Amino acid sequence: MQAHLVLIDAMNLIRRIYAAQERPYAMLDQLSENTISQIIHNTKVHTSNALQRILTQHQPSHALAVFDCQGECWRHKLFSDYKKGRKKMPTHLANSLVDMQDGFLAHGVDSLESEHDEADDLIATLAVKMALRGQNTTIISTDKGFLPLLGPHIKVYDYFNKRYIDEAAVRSKFNVSTAQLVDYWTLTGDATNKIPGVSGIGPITAVDLLAKYGSLTSILSANDLKITLRKALQEHEMEIKLYQQLLTLKKDIPLGFNLKDIRLPHTSAQLSTTATQEG
C-alpha cells in the first residue's frame, strides 16, 4: 500500500475556525472572560471535529499538524516589512495552542514547530521529500503559497470550501502555470505577505511576459523588451532577487525524524515495507 501523508497547516485551520467563533461578538468593544473562554472552547471543539473529518475523508497513512514558529522567521530578517500590519494572534488563542496540540495527539496526529522556519517551509520540505520517493501528500490549507508545489504526488485541499485546488484552478485564477507562480508574484507583488513587486508591472503585464518568455530568468535576459519595462526591471534588480527568495518555499530543512514517527496507529499494519521505507 502506498503511503499517503496529510500535512495540516495548523494555524491556517485554527485561526479560520477561531474567526468564525469570534465573529458573532465582532460589535463588542471588549470581550468578557466568560465569552473568551466560550470562544476558545468552541474553537477547540470545532478544530477537533475538523481534524476528524479530514482524517475520515482523506484516509492518510501518516499525518502531521505543522505550526508556525512563535517568533520572527528568517524572512523577517531579510525583509522587515514581511507580513507587516497583519493582525496578531490574540493572546488567549496563543495560550490555548498547547491544548489544541494535545487534542491533535488524541487523534494520533503529532505536531511540528520550528524555531526559525515557517510552517510553509516545513510542509514544503516534507511534501517534496515524499514526492521524491513516489509517495503522496495532501496539504490541508487555504494558503496560495503552497500552489507552486502541485504535482503528481502533491495535492492541496481547501477544507473550508471542500475542494482540491489543482492546475486548472491556478490557471483560471492567475492565468499562469503553477511553475510560474513565484515569478508571477515576484513581478506583481503579494499583498498577503506585503511583498510589493515591481512598480509598474501589474497582473496583465506579468501574464503577457510569462506567456511570451516562460520564466522571470528569461524575461530579465530578453533583449527585445520595451525600454520602459527594461528600465523598471533593471531598477528593481536587487528587489526582484529578494522577492523571489521570500516567495520560494524552502524544501531542504533538516527535520530530525523519520516517516515512521508520524504514522497513524490504525494504518501501521497496512503499509508494505516498500511503501514505508524511512530514513
* pLDDT above 60 for 269: no
SS3 content of the chain, % helix, strand, coil (to 5): 55, 10, 35
Q: Supply the Cα-derived Rg of the chain in whole angstroms.
A: 21
Find out if CATH 1.20.200.10 is the number for domain 170-247. Answer: no
Give the residue extent of every domain in the chain.
Answer: 4-24+35-169+250-265, 170-247
As a whole number of angstroms, the distance between CA 143 and CA 125 comes to 16
- According to the per-residue pLDDT averaged within each range, which of 212-221, 252-261, 270-279 is highest? 212-221
Q: Please choose, from the candidates 2, 250, 245, the residue with its C-alpha nearest in 3D space to the C-alpha of residue 126.
A: 250
Q: Please choose, from the candidates 122, 163, 114, the residue with its C-alpha nearest in 3D space to the C-alpha of residue 146.
A: 122
| DSSP collapsed to 3 states, 170-201 | HHHHHCCCHHHHHHHHHHHCEHHHCECCCCCC
User: Which amino acid is located at 122 in the chain?
Assistant: L
Helix, strand or coil, per DSSP, at residue 219: helix
Q: How confident is the model at residue 279 (pLDDT cuts 50, 70, 90)?
A: very low
**Segment 100-113, tens digit of pLDDT:** 999 999 999 999 98
This prediction's pTM: 0.92
DSSP type of residue 249: P
CATH class as words, domain 4-24+35-169+250-265 = alpha beta
As a whole number of angstroms, the distance between CA 59 and CA 146 comes to 21
Residue in this structure with the C-alpha cell 496526529, named with its chain if needed: 109
For residue 78, give the C-alpha cell: 531579510
Q: Please choose, from the candidates 156, 136, 154, the residue with its C-alpha nearest in 3D space to the C-alpha of residue 145.
A: 156
Q: How confident is the model at residue 271 (pLDDT cuts 50, 70, 90)?
A: very low
Pure H helices in 147-278: 167-174, 181-188, 203-213, 216-221, 227-235, 237-247
Give every strand in the sheet of 163-165, ordered side by side: 110-113, 62-67, 4-9, 136-140, 154-158, 163-165
User: Which amino acid is located at 162 in the chain?
Assistant: K
- Whole-number mean pLDDT of the chain? 92
Q: What is the pLDDT of residue 115?
A: 79
As a whole number of angstroms, the distance between CA 252 and CA 23 comes to 39
Burial class (CB in 10 A: 0-12, 13-18, 19+), 9: buried
**CB-CB neighbours of 215 under 10 Å:** 14
**Segment 8-60, tens digit of pLDDT:** 999 999 999 999 999 999 888 889 999 999 999 999 999 999 999 999 999 99
Burial class (CB in 10 A: 0-12, 13-18, 19+), 102: exposed
User: Which amino acid is located at 44 in the chain?
Assistant: K
